[in-house]
Structure 1
Amino acid sequence: MPTARDIMTSDVTCVNEQDDLRTAARQMARLGVGALPIRGDDNRLTGMLTDRDIVVKVLAEGRDPAMVTAGELAQGEAVTIDADDDAAEVLRTMGRHRVRRLPVVDGQDLVGIVAVADVARALPEGAVGDLIEAISERTL
């Protein structure tokens, strides 16, 4: 079975904790991505920033994205997967935490991201369908 390292995208761009959300949004647009890992001053992963976070937690509340930092939206410890964990663990972790993008770490170092698209390319259709169902379920 492939590992997270086998299916991840290794070219990862981060946003710094102190970067404002206008800068982060421009970076997302330039890269054509919907999420960026948030990196602290010590270069460690502190969270994930999504385009939805910017819309729901900043714009919808009437806040100025130039006045809010990425670090303000980092919520506790980021859900990650170890680079050598197998694909079954990737699926379990994504499903359990209902995330579409999962940072891949080797020790303390961010080495990649596994997105649903990566899973879809690497794993059988049934496993992908189960994952989509798990992360799309609404909790009542």
Structure 2
Amino acid sequence: MSEPGASDPKELIMTTAKDIMHPGAQWVTKDDSLLRVAELMKQMDLGALPVADENERLCGIITDRDIVVKCVARGHNVADCRAADICEGTPRWIDANADVEEVLHEMEQHRIKRLPVIEKKRLIGMISEADLAQHLTDDQIAEFAEAVYARP
């Protein structure tokens, strides 16, 4: 079995979500048009953006696929649709102090590729599958890929 990305295997337990996330995650508001959301995704080379309220509290996530399936494919104009129109349910998130094992479990269990990081009820960053993979063993990466990408 190979070692995690960190030099000391014990770091796997001590490393937190805050340590591995992209800090200062870009987010959009519920009132932003899907055109603005899509433009931000293009500029930042992202496939998803968190949706936050006026207090920077997470209230959803929009993916590029959501925009295509829930707006464009239905014949709607992205300039006229708002993030709130396609943002559904309560998104999965992780506390900033959660360890890497918890991050792995959350992403595997819910088959998600991007996980918002919350601290004091505010969105402070995002963890991508690439961020997580840097802190896993080869075996853990294989298990993660199988859990997230395998068809149910």
Large movers: runs of 4+ above 3 Å: none
Q: Equivalent of 2:108, from 86, 91, 95?
A: 95
Say which structure, 1 or 2, has more relative contact order (CA 8 Å, 6+ apart).
2
**1:10-89 → structure 2 map (5 Å cutoff):** 10-89=23-102
Secondary structure of 1:49's counterpart equals strand
Structure 1 letter corresponding to 2:30: E
Structure 2 letter corresponding to 1:71: A
Structure 2 letter corresponding to 1:75: E
Aligned residues: 139
TM-score (normalised: structure 2)? 0.86
For the pair 1:109 / 2:90, whether they are aligned, the reply is no
Secondary structure of 1:90's counterpart equals helix
Structure 1 residue 41 displacement after superposition: 2.8
In 1, Cα distance between equivalents of 2:149 and 2:75: 28
For the pair 1:134 / 2:117, whether they are aligned, the reply is no
In 2, Cα distance between equivalents of 1:134 and 1:86: 19
Structure 1 letter corresponding to 2:95: D
Are the aligned partners of 2:56 and 2:123 in contact in 1 as well (CA < 8 Å)? no
Secondary structure of 1:114's counterpart equals strand
Deviates more, 1:58-67 or 1:21-30: 58-67
Cα RMSD after superposing both structures: 1.1
Q: Equivalent of 2:135, from 99, 122, 129?
A: 122
Structure 1 residue 48 displacement after superposition: 0.6
Identity, % of aligned positions: 38
Can you give the 5+ residue segments of structure 1 that lack an aligned partner in the other structure? Answer: none
Largest Rg, 1 or 2: 2
1:40-89: per-residue Cα shift (whole Å, max 9, x none)? 13321101111111111111222111111111222121100011111111
Secondary structure of 1:56's counterpart equals helix
Secondary structure of 1:131's counterpart equals helix
TM-score (normalised: structure 1)? 0.93
Which of the pair is proportionally richer in helix? Answer: 1
